[in-house]
Structure formats: structure tokens, C-alpha cells
Amino acid sequence: MINDTLLLGVMASHPGMSAEDTLAMVKTLAEGSYRIQSGIINSKGSAGVDSSKKDDVVLKVNPKKAIGKDKIKCCVCGKEFSMLTKAHLAEHNYTREAYLNLCGYDKKTKLVSKNLAAERKATTEKSKPWEQTPQWKKKQAKEALAKSTAETTAEVVQESPSLP
């Protein structure tokens, strides 16, 4: 049963909606929430769709538990990997974006285990690839010139007699 306070709150924040439309929206949201929690989502990543449709996918792994310390599990088939590749997702006819949407992940989510992600981050920080870019080199040259100019100015000011 839907809480009257919730309905009144939705109606207050959407004043143009009728009571029937508000009730329908809240029911759709409640059904979607239930379907997400139970792992039943259609192939377009939408949870608020009639469950009798044939394109529904029952996820074998809860997306909240799929990304582990050493392994990541494919939510569709349950297989474990150190990283989910485009090739594996293609076996299920998903692009990376569609899979992220299906599982309810943020678009920036890395489809790798936590250890592999940390390892890659450490390698990147150690090798500092950004230091090889022309933009970074130009910025460093400007900063070195500004520092040199500031030091020279400070020396000249210290050596010059004080002004009255």
C-alpha cells in the first residue's frame, strides 16, 4: 500500500499532475524498485516494464555484488573474470554502455576487479604518462619561466637601495 504522505509529497512537487497520474507514477516507481532489487530488468535496462515481455533478462548475479576484490562476475551469465571485455559482453549481445545500463551501473564504472583497478592506477601514477604530453611540457616550461622571473625580480629588489 502506498503511503498517503508520499503521494501528497509527489503531488506537491509536481502540481500539474492529477491524482491518478501521480498514483500511476508512484506505482511504476515502486514496481521498478522491486524489479531492480530482485534482478529482473529488461534488455534495454528499464525496470518499469511489464514482466510478461519476452525481452526481460533475469540477472544471475546481483550487480551490487558482482565487482569483487579479485574477480568481477558477469551479471548475465555468472562467469568470473579479472575484467569484463567487449568480446564477452558481445556474446550476450550487449555493448559496454548497454551492460552498464542493464546492471544499473554509473557510466564511468570500470568493469574490472578492485585489485586490477588498483594495480592499473598504481602503474599509471608510477609511469606518469601525462608528463609526455605536449600540453604538460608547455605548462611546465611556463611555470619554470615564471619561477625564474620571480626569483630574478626578488634578487634585483634585494640588491637595489631602498626607496625613501
**Domain ranges for the chain:** 1-50, 59-129
> From CA 14, how far away is CA 18, in angstroms rounded?
9
Question: Which CATH number fits the domain 59-129, given the four candidates 3.90.700.10, 2.60.40.10, 1.10.10.1550, 3.30.420.40?
Answer: 1.10.10.1550
Element housing 72 (H / E)? strand 72-73
Q: For residue 125, give the C-alpha cell.
A: 601514477
Closest CA to 99 of 91, 109, 89: 89
Pairing of strands 72-73, 56-58: unpaired
pLDDT tens over the chain, length 164 residues: 556 776 677 777 777 777 777 777 777 777 777 766 665 555 444 443 333 333 577 899 999 999 999 999 999 999 999 999 999 999 999 999 999 999 999 999 999 999 999 999 999 999 999 889 999 999 999 999 998 888 888 877 777 766 55
Angle between helices 4-13 and 19-38 (to 10 degrees): 110
Query: CA–CA distance from 71 to each of 64, 84, 95, 117, 136 (Å)?
Result: 13, 10, 20, 11, 35
**Which 8-state DSSP code applies to residue 156?**
H
